[in-house]
């Protein structure tokens, strides 16, 4: 399904009717995410942060979905969806502090970079084992339904996650309990190195949903308005009490799996180049340029604004000390038990691996 | 007060929790209409409805994974895993998700859930209806592990575990589900987590046990008393966080300790107890600590009574350490 046609015009039968300001906001958020990714990749290459997992080429699938959700809906992320969190207004400085694991990191340096979370933005915690977040989304939806709340949970996962134990359990529970959950499968072609066609013998990921009695759609995940439309339809189904929806968002990971990956080992340059033509930013930009609300100059300016913002956040992040060492020992339990009190004292007062300054 | 066995006391605790807090719900395989394979949840679905007492599809991953989601939303799910032996498909959800959620989210989210599961041997259950995997969960930062031995403690600890803000794995000694009866208050009450109980005071040897093996430890203690050995028996009740002070205080008094558990010996909880005792009461020790445990094999069917650390193996260990 395409809403934005190849020539940049909208298919009038499918146009979800967003205002031009809303459409430009989508483009700006997508471009901002790309600038942030680019800058983070550079500083990772310089050894200034440990790791980054970006969303190059998948911005429409992520931001289009986030935009179609209501503020009260829960986002249960995989690990590539920080664009959705930023869309909801998460402060960029906090994200960059998290990337550095410094004293400003709300997670106190406990997790690898790109494992963001925010209760305020109803954005759940990122976990690295694949697929484990999918049943959480179903549980959240079960809770919302039990409490009679008009909320749904939207869970992101990749093509690889459809092989996980948790995926099947979650789909099955969602079907059985008919709960308001959106399964958003970002099919970006690869689970690290394994191509999607070798992940499964089914032709599509979407057809798996039929086995669980869950309605499914398969759409162009690089067409942000198609994503918006499909996700909003899913939200509406959930709000109407019609239960779960599975949406396969067909996209392509233009970059590596993460900064630790080298995709040249498992896929051809030609393949990647052909997908660059399907870049979701290009498709949307063609449309807004056609509407005379965007042009090269605005584009260059916007990216420069975004890059300056990131650079300033990076500068500040690098000035901040490490979080207090004692923070390793808190939040394990609601109240710290005796053994952690003891171990905290042993660690904090004991010999240190490094003499780097921390917050304490 | 009503005379209850362990099954009835846990049922009573669940009923009280469901009555007191709308956020509590009970879920698991066969727990609704059937009332659970051990009938622990009997009558609850009828009383509270199918949206608070959920018969779930057959997937431990699904049960624990969705329970986490519900807890993240603010509910207090109490899941039943039909046998502790079946918990492993959901192991990742417990150890990597429930246990770590508070820490990894910087305290923004937490998972107040209870996982009830019958454990232990002696019911002719063979390899897959007899296991005691408590050490795996004690080893996991972020989880609390409880194992009551009697109906009174079971109800009080369960209500406390449901009110607790952290995930709790609640092991139920199925061997004594119907074997032990005592007066239990009908009204809700709590037994605090993290407090052990001296069930038989003594001066010469400390015997630490929990769950079904507590009765074996007690029997062995009575037996050796006839031979002049005075044993103090401690019921841990909460395995983690451990009431280390109670254990150490007893060992400081007796200087001798025997630890009893059904799980395999190597890296069983007894190993940690011995280490803690060695660290904290070394100069009080008069004899090497002894662990009387299951063997380091899968749980056998035919010879289960030779596998289990029953009184016939505990009593000689008590005598040995007393006479060392």
Q: What is the CATH number of the domain that holds B315?
A: 3.40.50.920
Mean pLDDT of A15-39: 97
A228/A342 same-domain check? no
From the list A136, A332, A337, the residue facing B65 with the nearest CB is A136
Partners of B114 in beta bridges: B78, B168
pLDDT at residue B309 tops 90: yes
pLDDT at residue A342 tops 80: yes
pLDDT at residue A356 tops 80: no
Find the closest chain A residue to B112 by CA distance: A334
Residue at A6 is within a domain? no
| Interface subset of B 222-241, CB within 8 angstroms of A | 241
A301/A345 same-domain check? no
Q: What is the pTM of this model?
A: 0.97
Check: CB of residue B133 under 8 Å from CB of residue B84.
yes
Chain B neighbors of A161, CB-CB under 8 A: none
Chain B neighbors of A147, CB-CB under 8 A: 73, 75
- Domains contained in chain A, number: 2
B218/B239 same-domain check? yes
A314/A329 same-domain check? no
B107/B165 same-domain check? yes
- Reported as type and span, the H/E element at residue A217 is strand A216-220
Model confidence at A39, pLDDT cuts 50, 70, 90, reads: very high
What CATH number does residue A288 fall under?
Answer: 3.40.50.970
pLDDT at residue A199 tops 80: yes
Q: Provide the residue range defining the domain that includes A314.
A: 20-323
Q: Does B101 touch chain A (CB under 8 A)?
A: yes
Q: How far is CA A224 from CA A276, B95, B158, in A?
A: 16, 37, 49
What's the rounded Cα separation, in Å, for the pair B261 and B256? 17
A337/A216 same-domain check? no
B62–A119 CB contact, under 8 Å: no
Q: Read off φ and ψ for residue B124, nearest 5 degrees.
A: 55, 50
Report pLDDT digits (tens) over B53-97. 999 999 999 999 999 999 999 999 999 999 999 999 999 999 999
pLDDT at residue A1 tops 90: no
Chain A neighbors of B73, CB-CB under 8 A: 139-140, 143-144, 147
What CATH number does residue B67 fall under?
Answer: 3.40.50.970
pLDDT at residue B201 tops 80: yes
Q: Does A170 touch chain B (CB under 8 A)?
A: yes
Q: Does A108 touch chain B (CB under 8 A)?
A: yes
Positions of A marked catalytic: 253, 257, 266
A179/A110 same-domain check? yes
What's the rounded Cα separation, in Å, for the pair B279 and A21? 68
A85/A173 same-domain check? yes
Report pLDDT digits (tens) over A241-259. 999 999 999 999 999 999 9
A233/A346 same-domain check? no
B307/B172 same-domain check? no
A274/A215 same-domain check? yes
A92/A187 same-domain check? yes
Report pLDDT digits (tens) over B258-279. 999 999 999 999 999 999 999 9
| Interface subset of A 133-162, CB within 8 angstroms of B | 134-144, 146-147, 153
Q: How far is CA B121 from CA A115, A331, B204, in A?
A: 42, 35, 29
B180/B240 same-domain check? no
B65–A143 CB contact, under 8 Å: no
Report pLDDT digits (tens) over A215-242. 999 999 999 999 999 999 999 999 999 9
Residue at A258 is within a domain? yes
pLDDT at residue A360 tops 90: no
Report pLDDT digits (tens) over B26-35. 999 999 999 9
Say what the pLDDT of residue A88 is: 98
Report pLDDT digits (tens) over A258-306. 999 999 999 999 999 999 999 999 999 999 999 999 999 999 999 999 9
What's the rounded Cα separation, in Å, for the pair A78 and A187? 12
Residue at B189 is within a domain? no
Model confidence at A106, pLDDT cuts 50, 70, 90, reads: very high
Look at the alpha carbons of A24, A26, A31, A35 in this order and tell me if their dihedral is positive or negative: positive
Residue at A12 is within a domain? no
B115/B36 same-domain check? yes
Q: Provide the residue range defining the domain that includes B52.
A: 2-184
A267/A294 same-domain check? yes
Beta sheet of B144-146, edge-to-edge order: B53-55, B24-28, B76-80, B114-119, B168-173, B144-146, B238-240
B68–A139 CB contact, under 8 Å: yes
What's the rounded Cα separation, in Å, for the pair B51 and A148? 12
Q: Does B50 touch chain A (CB under 8 A)?
A: no
pLDDT at residue B175 tops 90: yes
Q: Nearest to residue A221, comparing CAs of A286, A288, A291, A278?
A: A278
Say what the pLDDT of residue B215 is: 98
Say what the pLDDT of residue B229 is: 98
B249/B307 same-domain check? yes
Model confidence at A357, pLDDT cuts 50, 70, 90, reads: confident
Mean pLDDT of A334-356: 94
Q: How far is B47 from chain A (nearest CA, A)?
A: 17
Residue A144: is it exposed, middle or buried by C-beta count within 10 angstroms (0-12/13-18/19+)? buried
- Domains contained in chain B, number: 2
B173/B242 same-domain check? no
B222/B288 same-domain check? yes
| Average per-residue pLDDT for chain B | 98
pLDDT at residue A355 tops 80: no
Classified as helix, coil or strand, B88 is helix
Pick the residue of B73, B143, B240 with the most A CBs within 10 A to test the interface with A by mutation.
B73
Look at the alpha carbons of B95, B97, B99, B100 in this order and tell me if their dihedral is positive or negative: positive
Q: Does B89 touch chain A (CB under 8 A)?
A: yes
Residue at A2 is within a domain? no
CA A199 to chain centre: 21
Q: How far is B180 from chain A (nearest CA, A)?
A: 32
DSSP calls for A30-99: HHHHHHHHHHHHHHHHTTSSS-----TT-HHHHHHHHHHS-TTSEEE--SS-HHHHHHTT--HHHHHHHH
Q: Judge if the upstream peptide bond of residue B212 is cis by omega within 30 degrees of 0.
A: no
Report pLDDT digits (tens) over A45-58. 999 999 999 999 99
Say what the pLDDT of residue A354 is: 82
Q: Nearest to residue B48, comparing CAs of B30, B26, B29?
A: B26
Residue at B63 is within a domain? yes
pLDDT at residue B121 tops 80: yes
Chain B neighbors of A169, CB-CB under 8 A: 57, 59, 61-62, 65
Residue at A52 is within a domain? yes
Q: ipTM score of the complex?
A: 0.97
B235/B157 same-domain check? no
Chain A neighbors of B50, CB-CB under 8 A: none
A187/A208 same-domain check? yes
Look at the alpha carbons of A180, A132, B53, B185 in this order and tell me if their dihedral is positive or negative: negative
Q: Does A111 touch chain B (CB under 8 A)?
A: yes
A214/A358 same-domain check? no
């Amino acid at each position: 399904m395409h809403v934005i046609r190849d020539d940049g015009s909208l298919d009038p039968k499918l146009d979800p009717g967003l205002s031009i300001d809303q459409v430009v906001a989508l483009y700006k958020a997508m471009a901002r995410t790309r600038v942030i990714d680019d800058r983070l990749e550079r500083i990772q290459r310089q050894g200034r942060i440990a790791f980054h997992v970006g969303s190059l080429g998948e911005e429409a699938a992520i931001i289009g979905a986030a935009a179609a959700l209501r503020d009260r809906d829960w986002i249960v992320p995989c690990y590539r969806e920080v664009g959705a969190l930023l869309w909801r207004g998460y402060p960029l400085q906090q994200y960059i502090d998290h990337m550095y694991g410094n004293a400003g990191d709300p997670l106190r340096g406990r997790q690898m970079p790109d494992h963001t979370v925010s209760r305020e933005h109803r954005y759940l915690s990122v976990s690295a084992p694949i697929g484990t977040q999918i049943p959480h989304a179903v549980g959240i939806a079960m809770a919302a339904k039990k409490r009679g709340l008009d909320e749904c949970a939207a869970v992101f996962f990749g093509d690889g996650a459809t092989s996980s134990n948790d995926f099947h359990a979650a789909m099955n529970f969602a079907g059985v309990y008919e709960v308001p959950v959106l399964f958003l499968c970002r099919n970006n072609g690869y689970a690290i190195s394994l191509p999607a066609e070798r992940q499964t013998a089914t032709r599509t990921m979407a057809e798996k949903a039929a086995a669980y009695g869950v309605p499914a759609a398969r759409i162009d995940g690089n067409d942000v308005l198609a994503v918006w439309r499909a996700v909003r339809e899913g939200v509406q189904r959930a709000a109407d009490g019609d239960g779960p929806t599975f949406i396969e968002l067909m996209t392509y990971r233009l970059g590596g799996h993460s900064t630790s990956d080298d995709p040249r080992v498992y896929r051809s340059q030609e393949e990647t180049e052909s997908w660059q033509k399907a870049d979701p930013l290009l498709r949307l930009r063609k449309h807004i340029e056609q509407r005379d609300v965007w042009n090269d100059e605005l584009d260059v300016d916007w990216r420069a604004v975004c890059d300056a913002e990131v650079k300033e956040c990076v500068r500040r992040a690098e000035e901040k000390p490490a979080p207090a060492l004692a923070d390793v020992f808190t939040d394990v339990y609601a109240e710290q038990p005796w053994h952690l009190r003891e171990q905290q004292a042993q660690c904090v007062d004991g010999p240190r691996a490094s003499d780097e300054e921390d917050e304490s | 007060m009503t005379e209850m066995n362990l099954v009835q006391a846990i049922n009573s605790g669940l009923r009280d929790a469901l009555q007191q807090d709308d956020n509590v719900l009970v879920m698991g395989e066969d727990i609704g209409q059937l009332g659970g394979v051990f009938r622990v949840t009997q009558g609850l679905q009828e009383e509270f409805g199918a949206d608070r007492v959920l018969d779930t599809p057959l997937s431990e991953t699904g049960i624990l994974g969705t329970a986490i989601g519900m807890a993240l939303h603010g509910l207090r799910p109490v899941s039943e895993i039909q046998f502790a032996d079946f918990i492993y498909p959901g192991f990742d959800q417990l150890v990597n998700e429930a246990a770590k959620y508070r820490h990894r989210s910087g305290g923004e989210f937490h998972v107040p859930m209870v996982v009830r599961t019958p454990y232990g041997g002696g019911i002719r259950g063979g390899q897959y209806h007899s296991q005691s995997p408590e050490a795996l969960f004690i080893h996991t930062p972020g989880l609390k592990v409880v194992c009551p031995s009697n109906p009174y403690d079971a109800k009080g600890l369960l209500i406390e575990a449901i009110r607790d803000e952290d995930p709790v794995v609640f092991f139920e000694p199925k061997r004594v589900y119907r074997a032990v009866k005592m007066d239990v208050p009908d009204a809700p009450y709590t037994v605090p987590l993290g407090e052990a109980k001296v069930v038989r005071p003594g001066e010469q040897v400390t015997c630490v046990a929990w769950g079904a093996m507590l009765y074996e430890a007690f029997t062995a203690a009575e037996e050796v008393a006839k031979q002049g050995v005075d044993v103090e028996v401690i019921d841990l009740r909460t395995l983690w966080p451990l009431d280390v002070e109670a254990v150490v205080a007893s060992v400081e008094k007796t200087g001798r300790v025997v630890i009893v558990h059904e799980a395999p010996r190597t890296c069983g909880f007894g190993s940690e107890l011995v280490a803690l005792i060695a660290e904290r009461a070394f100069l009080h020790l008069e004899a090497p600590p002894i662990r009387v445990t299951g063997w380091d094999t899968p749980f056998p069917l035919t010879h289960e009574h030779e596998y289990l650390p029953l009184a016939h193996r505990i009593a000689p260990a008590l005598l040995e350490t007393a006479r060392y």
